[in-house]
Structure 1
Amino acid sequence: MSDFTIGESEFLLDGEPFRILSGALHYFRVHPESWADRIEKARLMGLNTIETYVPWNAHSPQRGVFDTEGMLDLGRFLRQVAEAGMYAIVRPGPYICGEWDNGGLPAWLFREPGVGIRRYERRYLAAVEEYLQQVLRIVRPLQVDQGGPVLLVQVENEYGAFGDDQTYLKALVEVTRGAGISVPLVTVDQPVPDMLEAGGLDGVLRTGSFGSRSAERLRTLRDHQPTGPLMCMEFWDGWFDQWGGPHHTTGVEEAAAELDSLLASGASVNIYMFHGGTNFGLTSGANDKGVYRPTVTSYDYDAPLDEAGNPTAKYHAFREVISRYAPVPDTVPSPAAPAPEYCVTLGEPVRLLADPGLWGGWSDHDSLPSLDDLGARLALFRTDLDVEGPAVLSVGEVRDRALVFLDGDPVGVLDREHHDRAIMLPRGRGRLELVVEDQGRVNYGPRIGESKGLVGPVRLGTQPLTDWSVCVIDLDLVPRLWDSVSADDPGPGPTAWRATFTADQAADHFLRTDAWGKGFAWVNGFCLGRYWRRGPQETLFVPGPVVQAGHNELVMLELDTLADPAACFVSGPALGPLEL
């Protein structure tokens, strides 16, 4: 057991000055069989601490549920940090941002009208307390004063960019302390005076988030934190990507120079990210500052370890900088070998529109329900039309993408990013089908928590459409479709395909996707995430622990058009052009 406290100008570990050299590593973005490898590589870079967010919505997809299996086993992750001889920082939110779906807030929070998100409001705080009690029950025995690795726990996240409800922040501190957390608490905000004041709390250490002008930012932080250690809780060494944009990188020399400036000041640091990992499944978020921009599947972040956990030039540059201020191990990680390269043929197509009931359950509705009402991320909406001649189909708002079919034939796409609200149908009679996709919930700003699906009335001309049949598509069922259905002929509409491939060993793979349209892919039932031809991302990372030596199965759900029914694995990642 150790004593970790906040001194007059430094952190103190058992009474001695201690500088935190931390790296962000999100357990929920890395396969659990790879955690130990990534933690060890952090140690070899010279870091002494690992930081992680905790995603409320992943642990609690429904209220009353708190899942800690597999990639969500926070306790196992923290114990592995300790086994590596390192310390930990836990940032449970409840809001985390992190380019994560809904900023980590569960969608079910928003279903009760008037719930006061991220403020002092009874119903919201009751849900937050339930969540924090569950998280901190795991963290409590793993604090440094209990013999564990956890040095710090963060309260909220960049709250000054959102609100200024000090009563709310105080309530979070009370819940945290009441749950048995005795290590120091911190807040984090961008080093802007208004944000530091609104998001900070007296008695709780303020920290900053920035990636440039370190000396200036630290001076601003010191103005609002007169005593105690200075710390950059998020030293941004890269950035995230959005579909349709470029792949973001930062210069290695420039990033290393900023880290050097930060450490020369005597400050502690958490490098965000040390290793970004992957937004597996449907976990990536989005931004909407007038234009909706969903985040890609890769969370490579141009970090010292790339998406597959391999050291980059930035790793070695940061290691050299750290060696000027702290001892670093003599050993460095070995360079990665190229991943296996081969192609397989995709076959056995199963079309959604041919028999949607095989993909999920039907329900009938007088008016159009939202995806939230249905608990769905992808759904088929069907109704019959009976109007003379061509007609305009209009929607109040599309969140986020709707494929439009008439009598099984594709008509077009309504896309939120383009602010699409209407489409011309060639005729007003027939079976109208809309395949509606949630592309990721906004994770930053005032549009957090908004409902998904088709919002507002759906009209044909001036008449509202009613009498809808809806099939919720169970994405977990897609890899198992062939257990109950025979293959179909390729045709219009979303189509599932599958292939088998043989691997010599359980090794990382990179699945090329730029020749496909838009959809999702699975290997051995594990959802790799979304792909989209518009890029920038052109490969999906397949973690080695998902691959088996010998026979493996690849499944993909193509929502648009598959020009060539083939799947190719390539030697390394392709994350797209640096400028458009």
Structure 2
Amino acid sequence: MTQFAIGESDFLLDGRPFRILSGALHYFRVHPDQWADRIEKARLMGLNTIETYVPWNAHSPHPGTFDTSGMLDLERFLREVADAGLYAIVRPGPYICAEWDNGGLPAWLFREPGMGVRRYEPKFMAAVRDYLRNVLGIVRSLQVDQGGPVLLVQVENEYGAFGDDQTYLKAVADIIRDAGITVPLVTVDQPVDAMLVAGGLDGVLRTGSFGSRAAERLATLRKHQPSGPLMCMEFWDGWFDHWGGRHHTTSVAETAAELDALLAAGASVNIYMVHGGTNFGLTSGANDKGVYRPTVTSYDYDAPLDEAGNPTGKFHAFREVISRYAPVPDVVPASGTAAPETSAALGSPVRLLADPSGWGAWSAHEAMPTLEILDVRLALFQASIDVDGPALLTVEEVRDRAYVFLDGDPVGVLDRERHDRALMLPRGRGRLEILVEDQGRVNYGRRIGEPKGLIGPVRLGSAELTGWSACAIDLDDLPHLLDGRTPDAPGVGPTAWRAGFEVAEPADHFLSTVAWGKGIAWVNGFCLGRYSRRGPQETLYVPGPVLRPGRNELVVLELEVTVEPVAHFVARPSLGPLEL
């Protein structure tokens, strides 16, 4: 069998120097029927390896589960990498960052008081051990020395930016080894002295993450690792976007020049990303460094392959750079064509506040529960209030957005980004309803694992408001909500809409959201993700494999208001302005 090892200055494949030319491609951000296409295009760019994270929370949405169906079929993905003649790198975390909800850590972990976060704490380590055994049970037989494609497995992820618990890091490495992983292990950190010290492990290859000043960054990495191959495990060729911000791109010429400098230095590379894909469903994360910023649905990342898998100018520039150091295939993939354009009216509205009884399971609570307790991302809370005159409604912290209604009339919105904590109700008597939305859990820094919802006592004046009824809205089941329901007249509050549209042949589509407010969309039951009038993203990507010849169904949950209740499918994506 093939042997892969770390040599004095190079990776060694069957004893011969081997340079890893890798690209990041996350199987969980791409429809599985499109994996082979994206992998093949990466090969045509000149890459010999595909790297992927593994998202714990996607595979294990509930304790004791490990789902590998559909978009989570890691084994199928790795076998498709091998079928293309490429190698693979697996980065299972347990923490991955990746602009992914909670950095990949399951929310259910933190329902138990005292649960550790990325540290050597018994309850956390027990959960990590179970998770890694599940993942590595798949990876073990797919290692290169077992006839599979996997060359490297990573321990944790940029740990030096978070902590310095060497006992924890070593325990994670030991779990990986004990699970039968025999290929070399690596860590990754930004090439900063303190991070490389805190996040590295003796006996495990250190790699770097950066997108510029390659010679300087490699020199820092070499200072901390006198021997072994140099590798940039995350060569940042683009960036991600936040709702309300601008769309990020990077210069093709400058990024290609940095890649050239990295390869000229003899280093191996993993291009982050070769194809970004999409944060389908409610999987996008958020950042909070004093101000909360949720990540958009598109993970285009300004990568060599765009969100729909089409080669960009960066693809051709990177391919030319790689050709200076390694052979590249003669074939060049074709550019994408315009998507079909069509429109369909949104009809049969069902309003949440008109009859909330059928929107999910109801439960009674003395105090306001968190969304983790309800195990949902969206919930409606009701309480009766009875005080004199106008009343001040206050909370300790909003995570992340709360729509407030009194007797069915909108009163206002409490928004985490604005640090809202209080709202004046026009009167103190009536039926108070609050729709609370989780807009994405923080994926980087100290706020990983925090609960969602209205945090701390909810007060009316100086008194805590108690006696809540909570509706846990099942968003997975929401496309079926309209089945058999009598449509409501359009009106105030969150509304579910349905539209039918015809497709001659399944092909990628782009759904325009510019005339809508804020919400979530599904096509044929497949959740495309969130949209928002704040932008920058103005279209949602619809993968061709989720469509079928003939009639298809779009369902939209609009949390605010639409200017035009019509669905427009447009020719090309619009990811927003580059400047604000």
After the TM superposition, which residues 490-501 of structure 1 pair with which residues of structure 2 at under 5 Å, given as runs? 490-501=490-501
Q: How does 1:344-355 map to 2 (within 5 A)?
A: 344-355=344-355
What residue in structure 2 maps to residue 375 of structure 1?
375
Residue equivalent to 1:434 = 434
Query: How far is the alpha carbon of 1:111 from its aligned partner?
Result: 1.4
SS in 1 for 2:277: coil
- In the other structure, the counterpart of 1:248 is 248
Contact 1:95 1:104 in 2 (8 A): yes
Counterpart of 2:517, as a letter, is: G
2-side partners of 1:179 and 1:390: how far apart? 62
Q: For the residues of structure 2 that align with 1:482 and 1:48, how far apart are their CA atoms?
A: 48
Amino acid at match of 1:342: T
Corresponding residue for residue 99 of structure 1: 99
Give the corresponding residue for 1:303: 303
User: What is the alpha-carbon distance in structure 1 between the residues aligned to residue 225 and residue 42 of structure 2?
Assistant: 29
Partner of residue 330, structure 1:
330
1:482 CA drift (Å):
2.1
Query: 2: CA distance between counterparts of 1:357 and 1:268?
Result: 57
Deviation of the 1:181 alpha carbon: 0.1
> Residue 180 of structure 2 corresponds to which residue in structure 1?
180
Does the 8 A contact of 1:39 with 1:50 survive in 2?
Answer: yes
- Aligned counterparts, 1:414-429, within 5 A: 414-429=414-429
- For 1:415 and 1:230, the matched residues in 2 are separated by 45
Structure 1 CA distance for aligned equivalents of residues 364 and 168 of structure 2: 41
How far residue 484 of structure 1 moved from its aligned partner, in angstroms, is 3.3
Q: What is the one-letter code of the residue matched to 2:458? A: V
User: What per-residue deviation string (whole Å, max 9, x for no partner) do you get for residues 216-266 of structure 1?
Assistant: 000000000110000000000000000000000000000000000000000
For 1:112 and 1:342, the matched residues in 2 are separated by 49
Amino acid paired to 1:195? M
Distance in 2 (CA, whole Å) between partners of 1:376 and 1:500 is: 28
Residues of 2 paired with 1:476 and 1:192: CA distance?
42
**2:357 is the alignment partner of 1:357:** yes
Alignment match, 1:225: 225
- Corresponding position: 1:461 with 2:475: no
Aligned partners of 2:524 and 2:447: how far apart in 1? 35
Q: Once the two structures are superposed, what CA deviation does each residue of 1:180-206 show, in whole Å capped at 9, x if it has no partner? A: 000000000000011001100010000
Aligned to 2:553: 553
Measured after TM superposition, the shift of residue 390 of structure 1 is 1.1
Q: Which residue of 1 aligns with 2:478?
A: 478
CA distance in 2, matches of 1:278, 1:293: 18
* Counterpart AA for 1:382: Q
In structure 1, how many angstroms separate the alpha carbons of the residues matched to 2:380 and 2:129?
A: 36
After TM superposition, give the deviation of residue 114 of structure 1 in Å: 1.3
Amino acid at match of 1:360: G
Corresponding residue number in structure 1 for 2:51: 51
* Per-residue deviation, 1:169: 1.1
How far residue 343 of structure 1 moved from its aligned partner, in angstroms, is 1.1
1:223 aligns to what SS in structure 2? helix
Cα deviation for residue 463 of structure 1 reads 1.5
TM-score calculated relative to the size of structure 1:
1.00
Stretches of structure 1 that go unaligned for 5 or more consecutive residues are none
The question of 1:508 aligning with 2:534 is answered no
In the TM superposition, residue 549 of structure 1 has moved relative to its aligned partner by 1.2
Q: Given that residues 482 and 496 in structure 2 are in contact (C-alpha distance below 8 angstroms), is that contact kept between their aligned partners in structure 1?
A: no
Q: What is the SS of the residue equivalent to 1:183?
A: coil
Residues 502 and 552 of structure 1 are in contact (CA less than 8 Å); yes or no, is this contact kept in structure 2?
A: yes
Aligned to 1:394: 394
Identity %: 77
1:193 counterpart letter in structure 2: D
Task: For 2:264, give the aligned amino acid.
Answer: A
| Contact preservation (8 Å) 1:359, 1:477 | no
CA distance in 2, matches of 1:382, 1:479: 24
2:387 is aligned with what amino acid?
V
For each residue in 1:295-345, what CA deviation from the matched residue of structure 2 results, as whole angstroms up to 9, or x when unmatched? 000000000000010000000000000000000000010111100111111
Equivalent residues of 2:21, 2:47 under 8 A apart = yes
Q: Aligned partner of 1:265: which letter?
A: A
Separation (CA, whole Å) in 2 of partners of 1:115 and 1:385: 36
Q: Which residue of 1 aligns with 2:204?
A: 204
How many pairs were matched up? 580
Deviation at 1:122, TM superposition (A): 1.1
In 2, Cα distance between equivalents of 1:462 and 1:159 = 43
Partner in structure 2 of residue 69 of structure 1: 69
Provide the C-alpha distance between the structure 1 equivalents of 2:284 and 2:440, rounded to a whole number of angstroms.
6
| Alignment partner, residue 257 of structure 1 | 257
Q: Note the alpha carbon deviations across 1:522-569, whole angstroms, 9 max, x for none.
A: 000000000000000000000000111111000000000112110100
Kept in 2, the 8 Å contact 1:510–1:539? The answer is: yes
Q: Distance in 2 between matches of 1:371 and 1:406?
A: 21
Aligned to 2:123: 123
Q: Is the 8 A contact 2:343 2:566 kept in 1?
A: yes
Structure 2 gaps of 5+ residues are none
Q: Could you tell me whether the CA contact under 8 Å between 1:348 and 1:487 is conserved in 2?
A: yes
Residues 484 and 358 of structure 1: CA distance in aligned 2, closer, same or farther (over 3 Å) = farther
Alpha-carbon separation, structure 2, partners of 1:555 and 1:342 = 16
**How far did residue 465 of structure 1 move?**
0.7
Query: Deviations for 1:249-294, whole angstroms, at most 9, x for unmatched residues?
Result: 0000000000000000000000000000000000000000000000
1:109 and 1:499 mapped to 2: Cα distance?
A: 38
C-alpha separation in 1, matches of 2:260 and 2:560: 48
Pairing 1:566–2:566 present: yes
What letter is aligned with 2:347?
Answer: G
Aligned partner letter, 1:293: R
Q: How many Å separate the matches in 2 of 1:539 and 1:126?
A: 42
Cα-to-partner distance string for 1:106-152 (whole Å, 9 max, x where unaligned): 11111111122111111111100000000000000000000000000
SS at match of 2:458: strand
Q: Where does residue 110 of structure 1 map in the other structure?
A: 110
Matches within 5 A, 1:262-341: 262-341=262-341
Q: 2:144 maps to what in 1?
A: 144
Contact 1:394 1:421 in 2 (8 A): yes
Q: Once the 2 structures are TM-superposed, how far is the Cα of residue 99 of structure 1 from its aligned partner?
A: 0.2
Alpha-carbon distance in structure 2 between the residues aligned to 1:207 and 1:476: 39
Structure 2 match to 1:411: 411
Structure 2: how far apart are the matches of 1:475 and 1:58? 15
Equivalent residue letter for 1:194? A
Name whichever of 514-523 and 350-359 sits farther off: 350-359
User: What amino acid does structure 2 have at the position aligned with 1:557?
Assistant: L
